[in-house]
């Protein structure tokens, strides 16, 4: 995270106020302590609570105050680093795991939205990958083959993306992507966590983790 990132105000922050929470005021015993109240921390807490664990979440800022509310809000299995590169570095099995995990993440968010009736403008849509002007389409062909090897067999090459005023040239269409309003989603997730007995404490800075007999202590 760059130092200035916390100073920006995103569209999501302008159009929906995030929920607030009080700081931790006393010691608390819990099965799991999660540090960070962004989408990763709240999602982990939600899943653990569904499994019957007691959970406390600590964050030294507001809920979703880091990168979560400054995201592009794209839910995608078209990975920035490209499947060609992932396969080169981690092999075919690693590439397949990456594709499966990103696809499962979209499915999980969609399921949570439905189960918790979260009004966050979630929708499925196609994603398009295209090169900057002047670049060869060969890299798209290689990425298409790598995506297919990773298990994303519905990815296809098209002459151009469906943009009215810009000719993208050749592109890859990744079906089944998603988008949502991250602040609305976090608010809904937060309400579900509290309803299930989870606890979220903001403005609570964790200085370190101490090992104890039978557990850990965040301090």
pLDDT by residue (tens digit) across 148-189? 999 999 999 999 999 988 889 999 999 999 999 998 999 999
Residues 93 and 148 in one domain: yes
Domain of 69? 1-73+182-219
Average pLDDT over residues 195-209: 92
Together in a domain, 118 and 187:
no
Could you tell me the CATH number of the domain that includes residue 219? 3.50.50.60
**Coil/strand/helix, residue 201:** strand
Give 133's pLDDT tier (boundaries 50, 70, 90).
confident
Average pLDDT on 56-64 reads: 85
Question: Cα(54)–Cα(33) distance, rounded to whole angstroms?
Answer: 9
Written as six digits, the tokens of 215 are 């557990």
Q: How many domains does the chain have?
A: 2
Kindly state whether residues 111 and 125 are assigned to the same domain.
Answer: yes
Q: 129 falls in which pLDDT band (50, 70, 90)? A: very high
If asked whether residues 69 and 83 sit together in one domain, one would say no
If asked whether residues 79 and 174 sit together in one domain, one would say yes
Do 205 and 169 have their domain in common? no
Instruction: Please say whether the beta carbons of 55 and 31 come within 8 A.
Output: yes
Q: Considering only 50-64, 79-93, 184-198, which range has the smallest mean pLDDT?
A: 50-64
Residues 176 and 79 in one domain: yes
Is the same domain home to 97 and 152? yes
Q: What per-residue confidence (pLDDT) applies to 22?
A: 87
Q: Which pLDDT band holds residue 219 (cuts at 50, 70, 90)?
A: confident
Same-domain status, 25 and 54: yes
| 3 state DSSP class of 216 | strand
Residues 52 and 88 in one domain: no
Question: In angstroms, rounded to a whole number, what is the distance separating the alpha carbons of residues 154 and 148?
Answer: 8
**pTM, rounded to two decimals:** 0.86
User: pLDDT value at position 1?
Assistant: 46
Write out pLDDT tens, residues 4-51: 556 676 656 666 666 778 888 899 899 999 999 888 999 999 999 999
């Amino acid at each position: 995270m760059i130092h200035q990132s916390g100073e920006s105000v995103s569209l999501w922050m302008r159009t929906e106020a995030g929920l607030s929470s009080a700081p931790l005021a006393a010691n608390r015993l819990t099965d799991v302590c999660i540090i960070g109240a962004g989408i990763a921390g709240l999602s982990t807490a939600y899943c653990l609570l569904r499994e019957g664990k007691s959970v406390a979440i600590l964050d030294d800022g507001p809920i979703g105050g880091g990168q979560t509310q400054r995201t592009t809000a794209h839910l995608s299995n078209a990975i920035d680093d490209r499947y060609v590169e992932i396969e080169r570095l981690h092999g075919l099995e690693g590439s397949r795991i990456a594709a499966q995990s990103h696809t499962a993440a979209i499915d999980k968010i969609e399921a949570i939205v439905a189960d918790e009736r979260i009004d966050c403008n979630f929708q499925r849509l196609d994603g398009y990958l295209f090169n900057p002007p002047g670049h060869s389409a060969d890299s798209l062909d290689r990425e298409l083959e790598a995506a297919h090897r990773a298990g994303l067999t519905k990815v296809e090459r098209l002459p151009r993306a469906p943009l009215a005023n810009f000719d993208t040239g050749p592109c890859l269409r990744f079906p089944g992507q998603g988008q949502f309003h991250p602040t609305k989603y976090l608010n809904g997730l937060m309400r579900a966590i509290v309803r299930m007995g989870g606890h979220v404490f903001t403005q609570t800075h964790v200085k370190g983790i101490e090992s104890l007999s039978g557990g850990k202590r965040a301090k």
